[in-house]
């Protein structure tokens, strides 16, 4: 049985689009989120004067998401530097400690672990250059405390709309779970990719239907002629996603024209996932995705 969490959100301006703080009962961390347009107010916040780890969120020139993860002994001072030198970001989220016991060494450890997880998941590219090696000399007890600290931070972030770390990261989870078998939200489903006889695999992970790394997918998205406008729009969305993933290296195509995913890719529904892996505009994913026992996704939905 999963353990419940109570997250306390405070909307400083009375709206979710304004400045927001978030906390978990009996956790020493304090999370703050704000927009770049509110930097003047953020600089004045007491928590922005502390040691912590921050995430800059924004978009590339083509509109695709981009993030940057960093740490500082004074969040406000570092944000002033980024405001002058980095143009891509529009929001910032940072975590500090309410009891003031988060040291520079702790922050470097958290930063390194978060960058590692973000790169393993690959959901949103990072603007970070060299990968930090912080935390190598952190005492064992401190490292254990920081792993718990990070785990709570990662629980809060999706509630604030931050999805950089949302998804499957086996190396990270193995470390946090100390070797326990990972439990996700569903069995593994599969669907045949008829264009080249390969197989794609999917699973519900963190509430999203995720096509798993190593899945075979269609090498291109093809559209039939004389389709209705809604289908044409779906085709364009699938094609744009395919091109973006290909450009990011998330899709590799061998000399036989067989395409394979190099990382997990989340979708809003099993139908969107089934259409994408088969290179089509639409599909009935609840019927096409099946378990190894040949039960459909719809069957599983009815049982769970």
* Cα-based angle 27, 32, 33 (whole degrees, multiple of 5): 140
Domain annotation covers residue 57: yes
Each residue's pLDDT tens digit, 38-96: 999 999 999 999 999 999 999 988 888 999 999 999 999 999 999 999 999 999 999 99
Domain annotation covers residue 182: no
The packing angle between helices 170-177 and 104-121, to 10°, is: 130
Number of domains in the chain: 2
Top pLDDT among 150 and 137 is at 150
The reply to whether 112 and 222 lie within a common domain is no
Q: What is the pLDDT of residue 249?
A: 86
Each residue's pLDDT tens digit, 256-290: 778 999 888 999 899 999 999 998 888 899 999 99
Each residue's pLDDT tens digit, 108-127: 999 999 998 898 888 898 99
Domain annotation covers residue 183: no
The reply to whether 155 and 277 lie within a common domain is no
Res 175 pLDDT > 50: no
Domain annotation covers residue 27: yes
The reply to whether 93 and 194 lie within a common domain is no
The reply to whether 14 and 100 lie within a common domain is yes
Domain termination residue (choose one: 152, 177, 202): 177
Residue 202 CA to chain centroid, in angstroms? 17
Q: What is the pLDDT of residue 126?
A: 93
The reply to whether 172 and 196 lie within a common domain is no
Tokens of 15: 């709206």
Domain termination residue (choose one: 155, 177, 199): 177
Res 176 pLDDT > 60: no
The reply to whether 225 and 193 lie within a common domain is yes
Mean pLDDT confidence for 133-152: 83
The residue segments making up the domain with residue 160 are 7-177
Tokens of 282: 């639409």
The reply to whether 231 and 89 lie within a common domain is no
CB-based burial of residue 288 (10 Å sphere; 0-12 exposed, 13-18 middle, 19+ buried)?
Answer: buried
């Amino acid at each position: 049985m999963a353990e419940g969490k109570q997250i306390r959100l405070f909307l400083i301006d009375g709206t979710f689009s304004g400045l927001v703080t978030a906390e978990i009962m009996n956790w020493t961390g304090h999370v703050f989120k704000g927009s770049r347009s509110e930097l003047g107010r953020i600089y004045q916040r007491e928590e922005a004067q502390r040691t912590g780890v921050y995430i800059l969120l924004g978009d590339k020139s083509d509109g695709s998401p981009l993030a940057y993860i960093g740490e500082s002994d004074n969040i406000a001072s570092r944000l002033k530097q980024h405001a002058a030198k980095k143009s891509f970001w529009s929001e910032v989220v940072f975590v500090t400690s309410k009891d003031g016991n988060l040291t520079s060494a702790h922050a470097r450890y958290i930063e390194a672990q978060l960058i590692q997880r973000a790169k393993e998941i690959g959901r949103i590219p990072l603007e970070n250059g060299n990968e930090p090696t912080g935390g190598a000399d952190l005492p064992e007890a401190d490292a254990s405390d920081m792993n718990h600290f990070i785990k709570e931070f990662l629980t809060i972030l999706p509630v604030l709309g931050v999805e950089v770390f949302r998804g499957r990261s086996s190396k990270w989870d193995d470390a946090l779970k100390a070797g326990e078998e990972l439990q996700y939200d569903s069995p593994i489903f599969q669907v045949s990719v008829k264009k080249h006889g390969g197989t794609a695999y999917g699973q519900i992970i963190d509430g999203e239907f995720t096509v798993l790394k190593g899945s075979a997918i269609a090498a291109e998205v093809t559209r039939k002629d004389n389709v209705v406008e809604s289908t044409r729009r779906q085709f364009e969305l699938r094609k744009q996603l395919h091109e973006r993933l290909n450009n990011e290296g998330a899709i590799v195509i061998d000399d036989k024209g067989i395409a394979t995913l190099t990382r997990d890719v989340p979708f809003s529904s099993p139908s969107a996932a089934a259409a994408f892996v088969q290179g089509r505009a639409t599909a009935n994913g609840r019927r096409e995705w099946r378990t190894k026992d040949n039960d459909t996704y719809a069957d599983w939905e009815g049982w769970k």
